Amino acid sequence: MRTIESLGSLADRTVIVRSDLNVPLADGVITDDGRIRASLTTIRELRAAGAKVVVISHLGRPKGAPEARYSLSPVAARMAELLEAPVQFVSETVGAEASAAVAALAPGDVVLLENLRFNAGETSSDDAERGAFAQQLAQLGDAFVSDGFGVVHRRQASVYDLAQLLPSAAGRLVAAELEVLRRLTDTPERPYTVVLGGSKVSDKLGVISHLLERVDTLLIGGGMLFTFLAAQGHRVGASLLEADQLDTVRGYLATAAERGVNIVLPSDVVVAAAFAADAAHETVPADAIESASFGASGLGLDIGPDSAAAFAAVIAESQTVFWNGPMGVFEMPAFAHGTRAVAQALTDTAGFTVVGGGDSAAAVRALGFADAQFGHISTGGGASLEFLEGKALPGLEVLA
């Protein structure tokens, strides 16, 4: 994979950097700036090399047209604070205003252009439309650095097509993420444990199948655990259940048994009367969810304390741990204990620990953990999972 060194001298050259600045916002306020911080290593290096830096990114899921709530304006302000240098924000991605702002850059200057997904060409499945947008972007720079790991699994204009139009290379963040993922897939120290949570089994089908050939233990939590419990014949009340995945999960359980992989399901579950932060709740055995006071109307929203302790014990004995997906509805304090316990266990173990981006990264920060307490916090949940599934990632292939 081509690195920044392959681009030669960058002094006085305009370098377009595709970052992933897709941060969570609440009423226009950034609630987790982890992805902005992660982008700075490459941007600082390019500035120091005398490059004129044009940063591009998406935020949220606009439908190919401007939406004020998805503007990158707050990101530019926060980036300037963290960079301790001015970051000019331009309220368009391509056009006269963007071209003028880029033309006016001096070496070391940084400009952030508006949300890429305000242009339908960014995510278009039509090669011509996507390519036309990439051509407009390419006219703004002399070289391209791909540093948005969270989008390298997407065949999008700013990720895939643009890299073919300019001298291109991977940024430091993408290189670091790839090194970690290769360590997880090629040379993991054992015992190797993967903790999977989140809402749906269907989101993790490929990665579970692929990991069954590689790991020693799978710990299952989050909403997906109820499909596993149902596959074993247990009733799960009103808990999240993907009935169409029951046969697939039974197949995973059988394969794991054949391969000697230990799949650990929770022994107890926190069941609530409703999906609400203040809902009445109680802890019951995982194989007797409907024994709670709420009967068949109760729904599981977290793993229980015994399960959390058991998960932590497995993690403590592991030399490599990859975690993707919270154990419960961590946004509600009453149902955050399982996620907190797993995060704490990862910080306590002497092994190499990786938090797989997305909700997991947001959870550990929301619960007060620092990035430095983990071996690595990925910026790309979906990209990490697809890599671990063994899939080819277009945004990396184009940099080979």
58 belongs to an annotated ligand binding site? yes
357 has pLDDT over 80: no
300 has pLDDT over 80: yes
Confidence of residue 256 (pLDDT cuts 50, 70, 90): very high
Give residue-wise pLDDT tens across range 125-175: 999 999 999 999 999 999 999 999 999 999 999 999 999 999 999 999 999
pLDDT of residue 206: 84
pLDDT of residue 143: 98
20 belongs to an annotated ligand binding site? yes
108 has pLDDT over 80: yes
Model's pTM, two decimal places? 0.89
CATH, domain 4-175, list 3.40.1280.10, 3.40.50.1260, 1.10.10.10, 2.40.50.140: 3.40.50.1260
**SS3 letters for the chain?**
CCEHHHHCCCCCCEEEEECCCCCCEECCEECCCHHHHHHHHHHHHHHHCCCEEEEECCCCCCCCCCCHHHCCHHHHHHHHHHHCCCCEEECCCCCHHHHHHHHCCCCCCEEEECCHHHCCCCCCCCHHHHHHHHHHHHCCCCEEEECCHHHCCCCCHHHHHHHHCCCEEECHHHHHHHHHHHHHHCCCCCCEEEEECCCCHHHHHHHHHHHCCCCCEEEECCCCHHHHHHHCCCCCCCCCCCHHHHHHHHHHHHHHHHHCCEEECCCEEEEECCCCCCCCEEEEEHHHHHHCCCHHHCEEEEECHHHHHHHHHHHHCCCEEEEECCCCCCCCHHHCHHHHHHHHHHHHCCCEEEECCHHHHHHHHHCCCCHHHCCEECCCHHHHHHHHCCCCCHHHHCCC
Which of 8, 39, 268, 310 lies closest to 173 in space, CA to CA? 39
Q: What is the CATH number of domain 187-389?
A: 3.40.50.1260
> So which residues are the catalytic ones?
35, 200, 358, 382
- Mean pLDDT to the nearest integer, 5-23: 97
121 belongs to an annotated ligand binding site? no
Segments making up each domain of the chain, as ranges: 4-175, 187-389
pLDDT of residue 199: 87
Give residue-wise pLDDT tens across range 202-229: 888 888 988 998 999 999 999 999 999 9
100 has pLDDT over 90: yes
pLDDT of residue 388: 87
137 belongs to an annotated ligand binding site? no
Confidence of residue 258 (pLDDT cuts 50, 70, 90): very high
pLDDT of residue 202: 87
300 belongs to an annotated ligand binding site? yes
360 belongs to an annotated ligand binding site? yes
Share of the chain above pLDDT 70, in %: 100
97 belongs to an annotated ligand binding site? no
389 has pLDDT over 90: no
- Mean pLDDT (the chain, rounded): 96
343 has pLDDT over 80: yes
